[in-house]
């Protein structure tokens, strides 16, 4: 046993703000079939098998987070970008290339960049797909960030709002506010000169540990918009904590850790499985094995078999 003080650790690196998870982004869509092609066949994500299984809404799992995609007459557009961590860049590119024909009459597109693949959904939402890296604190599959375009001069006030009302980590780097919303997850509010699009009602959902503190802060500022139930409330405007000036509009669905759906296990499939190149035991997605277990020759043999089957399927 190491004596106290014998080793020096950066204990602050383990701190987590009051917002502990970014659970979902809700975007209205115009066609469930096109969404299936893009999110499942293209990005390789997983439709939740237990919730919203009809044709009027779709919950799409990405690691521990989700997209909620209700059918609406007019599709919604997030004013910015959503950042996902998706392993196996080459497999992702192959999937996106295969769905081009089915999404040809939509706004679908994808472009390779050095550190990510930028995709555009059939209705114009931009989703940036990154490989796992230390930047995302060990996340192997998930929703790493949501980035919004905000007016010039808004970043400092937005960071102050989340620090004061939500007691969560928030900092300004250059002209962007970075707000901690979970392990490897953040909201980014990047200042832009572009003309702001009208807000169309899309929303995000977060879990907070201290549920009553932010509630009181929102009520005091006149920002609370919905008393949902015992475990949830909503607000829509981010306001400068010093002046009360509205800085940006995005609905937040705020849930407590006692919410019945908190930490609900989410099914994530392995998108490399096919009927023509099937590997038993690999239907569910698992991170690539690393560490001492890779020394087990049985693990290595299964890995090689799986990779060979994936290559045959891609060819």
Of 256, 281, 302, which marks where a domain is finished? 256
Look at residue 3 and tell me if it is in a domain: no
Place of tokens 């250059």: 174
The domain tally of the chain equals: 2
Mean local confidence (pLDDT), 195-215: 96
What's residue 54's pLDDT?
97
Look at residue 8 and tell me if it is in a domain: no
Q: What's the rounded Cα separation, in Å, for the pair 216 and 45?
A: 37
What's residue 293's pLDDT?
36
Banded pLDDT at 11 (limits 50, 70, 90) = confident
96 close to 106: Cβ distance less than 8 angstroms: no
Look at residue 295 and tell me if it is in a domain: yes
C-alpha 27, offset from chain centre: 12
Q: What's the rounded Cα separation, in Å, for the pair 168 and 19?
A: 6
Whether 39 and 184 map to the same domain: the answer is yes
| Closest to 39 (Cα-Cα) out of 61, 23, 57 | 61
- pLDDT per residue as tens digits for the range 126-151: 999 999 998 998 899 999 999 999 99
Whether 233 and 152 map to the same domain: the answer is yes
The SS3 of residue 308 is helix
Look at residue 276 and tell me if it is in a domain: yes
Whether 217 and 88 map to the same domain: the answer is yes
Look at residue 229 and tell me if it is in a domain: yes
What's residue 8's pLDDT?
81
CATH of the domain at 154: 3.10.180.10
Banded pLDDT at 195 (limits 50, 70, 90) = confident
Look at residue 102 and tell me if it is in a domain: yes
Assigned token pair, 248:
């940006």
Of 233, 256, 279, which marks where a domain is finished? 256
- pLDDT per residue as tens digits for the range 280-311: 999 999 887 443 333 445 445 555 666 666 66
Look at residue 302 and tell me if it is in a domain: yes
Mean local confidence (pLDDT), 119-132: 97
| Strand blocks (E) in 35-159 | 46-47, 59-62, 65-68, 80-85, 109-112, 117-120, 126-130, 142-150
Q: Which domain holds residue 31?
A: 13-256
Q: What's the rounded Cα separation, in Å, for the pair 221 and 241?
A: 9
- The three-point CA angle 54-56-58 to 5° equals 70
Whether 287 and 147 map to the same domain: the answer is no
- pLDDT per residue as tens digits for the range 166-180: 999 999 999 999 999
Whether 39 and 180 map to the same domain: the answer is yes
């Amino acid at each position: 046993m190491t004596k106290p003080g014998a080793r020096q650790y950066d204990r602050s690196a383990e701190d987590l703000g009051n917002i502990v998870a970014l659970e979902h982004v809700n975007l209205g869509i115009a066609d469930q079939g096109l969404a299936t092609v893009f999110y499942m066949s293209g990005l390789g994500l997983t439709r939740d098998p237990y919730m919203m299984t009809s044709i009027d809404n779709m919950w799409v799992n990405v690691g521990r987070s989700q997209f909620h995609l209700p059918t609406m007459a007019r599709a919604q557009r997030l004013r910015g970008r959503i950042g996902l961590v998706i392993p196996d860049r080459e497999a992702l590119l192959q999937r996106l290339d295969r769905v081009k024909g089915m999404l040809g009459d939509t706004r679908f597109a994808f472009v390779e960049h050095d550190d990510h693949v930028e995709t555009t959904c059939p209705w114009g939402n931009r989703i940036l797909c990154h490989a796992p890296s230390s930047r995302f604190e060990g996340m192997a599959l998930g929703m790493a960030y949501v980035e919004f375009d905000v007016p010039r001069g808004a970043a400092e006030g937005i960071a102050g709002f989340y620090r004061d009302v939500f007691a969560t980590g928030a900092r300004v780097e250059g002209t962007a506010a970075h707000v901690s919303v979970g392990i490897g997850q953040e909201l980014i509010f990047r200042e832009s000169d572009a003309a702001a699009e009208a807000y169309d009602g899309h929303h995000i959902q977060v879990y907070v540990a201290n549920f009553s503190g932010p509630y009181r802060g929102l009520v005091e500022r006149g920002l609370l918009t919905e008393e949902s139930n015992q475990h949830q409330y909503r607000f829509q405007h981010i306001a400068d904590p010093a002046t009360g000036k509205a800085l940006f509009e995005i609905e937040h669905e705020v849930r407590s850790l006692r919410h019945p759906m908190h930490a609900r296990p989410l099914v994530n499939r392995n998108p490399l499985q096919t009927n023509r190149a099937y590997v038993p035991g690999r239907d569910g997605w698992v991170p690539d094995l690393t560490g001492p277990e890779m020394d087990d020759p049985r693990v290595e043999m299964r890995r090689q078999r799986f990779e060979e089957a994936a290559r045959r399927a891609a060819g």
